[in-house]
Chain A
Amino acid sequence: MHPYVYATLGGALIGGAAVLLMAGLGRIAGISGIAGGLIQHHPGDRAWRLAFMLGLLLAPLLLLLVRGDSGIGLPQVGLPWMALAGVLVGFGTGMGSGCTSGHGVCGIARLSPRSLLATAVFMACGMATVYVSRHGLGGL
Chain B
Amino acid sequence: MKVIVALLSGLLFGVGLSLGGMTQPAVVLGFLDIFGQWDPRLLFVMAGAVPITALGYRVLRRRPRPLLEDRFRWPTSRRLDVRLVGGAALFGIGWGMAGYCPGPALAALSGGAPALLVLVASMFAGWWLAARLPATKA
Contacts and interface: CB of A to CB of B under 8 A. Distances in A.
Interface of B: 2-27, 29, 32-36, 40-42, 44-57, 60, 65-69, 71-75, 77-80, 83-103, 105-111, 113, 115-116, 118-131, 133
Interface in A66-96: 70-79, 81-96
A15 B13 CA distance: 8
Interface of A: 3-4, 6-29, 31-32, 35-36, 39-40, 47-49, 51-63, 70-79, 81-97, 99-101, 103-114, 117-119, 121-131, 133-135, 139
Given A47-B3, A56-B11, A113 B122 contact: no
B24 to A, nearest CB: 3
A10 B52 contact: no
The 7 closest A-B pairs by CB, nearest first: A90-B126, A11-B48, A96-B87, A55-B10, A59-B14, A94-B130, A125-B92
B46 to A, nearest CB: 6
A15 B102 contact: no
Contacts of A139: 35
A97 to B, nearest CB: 7
A89 B106 CA distance: 12
Contacts of A103: 88
B107 A106 contact: no
B73 A18 contact: no
A23 B66 contact: yes
